[in-house]
A = this chain, B = another copy of it.
Amino acid sequence: MLMGEGVEWGLHCCMVLAWLDDHAPIATARLAEIFELPPEYLKKRLQPLVREGILDSTPGARGGYRLARTPERITLMDVVAAVEGRTEAFRCTEIRRRGAGASRAGSDFAKPCGIAKAMGRAELAWRRELEAQTVADLLAGTPANASKYTRSFYERVAT
């Protein structure tokens, strides 16, 4: 059960787009250079973030990305959900109703299966942690010179 690299890439790009907001829109090629990532692949990974209203994308030669809302209003869960979808990790296929369960009354299954309930509680605990953290929190926790280095790198490669 693994997250795609799009989550790491997407969150780092959100941080960079916050630092470079006055230069926006930031071209895919520039974002890719900042992290030494393959541009075409990065573009694909950022598409779900555009679709979910986390990034704004401007087409054209002078186009690129900017944050679609403030860093305070983008949670880690928003980015994870955009990239990975909102489907719960555990899928209950109700095997309890089959075979030995097939002859039991439907009312025996009125309560959800304890396994599905426990999995749901665990997933909720996970989501709550990710909902409680925003891109603004990530920015606040980054060494002061990270923003400076990123800006000067960008200004060097973009001109």
Binding site for B on A (CB under 8 A): 1-3, 5, 7-9, 11-12, 16, 33-37, 76, 84, 87, 89-93, 95-96, 98-104, 108, 111, 114-115, 117-119, 121-123, 125-130, 133, 137-138, 141-143, 145-146, 149-150, 153-154
Number of copies of this kind of chain in the complex: 2
- Known contacts A2-B87, A133-B118, A146-B108; is A100 also within 8 Å of B8 by CB? no
For A11, list chain B residues within 8 Å (CB): 115
Contact assessment for B129 and A114 in the assembled complex, using a CB-CB cutoff below 8 Å: no
For A93, list chain B residues within 8 Å (CB): 5, 8
Contact assessment for B89 and A1 in the assembled complex, using a CB-CB cutoff below 8 Å: yes
